[in-house]
Structure 1
Amino acid sequence: MTNTTSSQRTDWHVSLIGGLKRRGAERMPADTVVITPVGGADLDLRDARIEEVTSVTKISLLGGVCLRVPADVTVEVEGFSLIGGRSVEPGPPDTPDASGRVVRVRNYSVIGGVDITRG
């Protein structure tokens, strides 16, 4: 189900088992919400068109977020996981926040963490 009534659209992905896998040069929506009891979110945003602020919210019992972003994007991570950690690869020291683009990741799960790489 996708809400596209405005430029600030939200993409909803709801499933019992399974997650979301996205990669390519498409435009990222302002908000992406993934709700699933079992399943993760695997997003490769290195070629995506990212606006100023993009958010990804992941809610599950079992499953985390694997995210790959361009080196010049700021990443903010928040949320809660009973079992699972956060791994955020830092950006290059000479060009932090160069593009002004921000990806906000919210992960709420019982088992599942967040893994963010740059490239």
Structure 2
Amino acid sequence: MTNTTSSQRTDWHVALLGGLKRRGPGRAPADTVVLTPLGGADLDLSDAEIAPVTSVTKISIAGGVRLRVPAECTVEVEGFTLFGGRRVDPGTPDSSGPVIRVRNYGVFGGVRVTRG
């Protein structure tokens, strides 16, 4: 289900099993919400057109977030997981570049951000 209002777009992905995998060029949604009991989110935004502020929200029992972003993006990670870590590769964020906010909530699963 996609909700489009003005220039912002929210993509909702709801599944009982499985997650979301997205890569390649194109416009990234301003907001992505992934709701799955079991499954993760694997997003490659390195070739995508990114809004000034983009958010990814992942809610699950088991499943984390793997995200690849351009080196100039600022990445902010928040949320809660009982078992899982957070790792964001260092980069060269540009103060005028895009900001990507990752929110991960679950029991098992962490956040891994690479730059490319």
Deviation above 3 Å: which 4+ runs of structure 1?
none
Match of residue 70 from structure 2: 70
Q: Deviations over 1:25-66 (max 9, x none)?
A: 110111000000000000000000001000000000000000
Does 2:102 match 1:105? yes
Structure 1 gap ranges (5+): none
In the aligned structure 2, how far is the partner of 1:66 from the partner of 1:23? 12
Aligned residues: 116
- TM-score, normalised to structure 2, is 0.96
Q: CA RMSD in A?
A: 1.0
Counting only pairs closer than 5 Å after superposition, residues 51-62 of structure 1 correspond to structure 2 as: 51-62=51-62
Are the aligned partners of 1:72 and 1:99 in contact in 2 as well (CA < 8 Å)? no
- TM-score, normalised to structure 1, is 0.94
1:98: how far off?
Answer: 5.1
Match of residue 50 from structure 1: 50
Larger strand share, 1 or 2: 2
1:8: how far off?
Answer: 1.0
Question: What percentage of residue pairs aligned between the two structures are identical?
Answer: 76
SS in 1 for 2:18: coil
1:5: how far off?
Answer: 3.3
Which of 103, 112, 115 lines up with 1:115 in the alignment?
Answer: 112
Structure 2 gap ranges (5+): none
SS in 2 for 1:103: strand
